[in-house]
Amino acid sequence: MRALIASLLAVVAIVATAGNATAGERNHLSITTVGDSITAGGSAHPGHSYPDHLQRRLGGAATVSNAGVGGRCIVARGCGDGVRMVDTFADVLADEPDVVVLNGGRNDFCHVETRVLTNTLARLRWQGAKLGVRVVLSTATPANARWPWPCEEQRIEVNEWIRTQPDYVDLEAALIGKHTGELRRRFDSGDGLHPNSRGYARMAAAVYRHLH
């Protein structure tokens, strides 16, 4: 009888241990950041992109994969390496991340209509939802006055639409000057478009708060 009880207790212990391991795996988030050079960490030193900063904030609670590619467009043709985010998004989802943070549009503005961009963003989020992947949209970051106003105006239009969506992080708000409407100097890498390490850290903090 004692041998039977001991055997049963051993089985219970094994099941409990397995259950805890499974719970631990569930609690470990897999996050993929998709975007252009602003996601890739353009103009920043290695290890200082916003996904790098986000990984340091999350520590062992998550794995952050940086799928940002400089010059890449969401849907416009002829950008950078010629590959569009809309064409590679299925591959991102095939890796089964828990969360995808999507940022882009900088290379699309002035090349496609606002409606095309917003419809594409809605479709990408729907593709993720079908597979149980949370797709977090994010507002396009600001530039300084050297950038053409029509393109900035379209960025504002797209961001206004993003803010009507149920799951988004406001990266514009993290970097914009309250009185200038431009990328704040303290966050500018010097080219008027890409953030510096401090700016990328600010973006990571915004994403971190949103995910928590």
| Angle formed at CA 61 by CA 60 and CA 64, multiple of 5 degrees | 80
Instruction: Write down the pLDDT at residue 26.
Output: 54
Instruction: Write down the pLDDT at residue 34.
Output: 98
- Which two structure tokens, joined as six digits, stand for 64? 């952050």
Q: Is 53:59 a contact under the CB 8 Å cutoff? A: no
Strands 29-35 and 62-68: parallel
The type of residue at 206 is A
Instruction: Write down the pLDDT at residue 174.
Output: 97
Instruction: Write down the pLDDT at residue 151.
Output: 92
Instruction: Write down the pLDDT at residue 25.
Output: 52
Instruction: Write down the pLDDT at residue 9.
Output: 37
pTM comes to: 0.86
Chunk the chain into consecutive blocks of 10 residues (it has 212) and report each block's average pLDDT, rounded to whole numbers. Answer: 41 38 64 98 95 97 97 95 96 98 96 98 98 98 88 96 97 95 95 96 98 90
The type of residue at 208 is Y
The full DSSP string for 159-207 is HHHHTTSSSEE-HHHHHB-TTT-SB-GGGB-SSSSSB-HHHHHHHHHHH
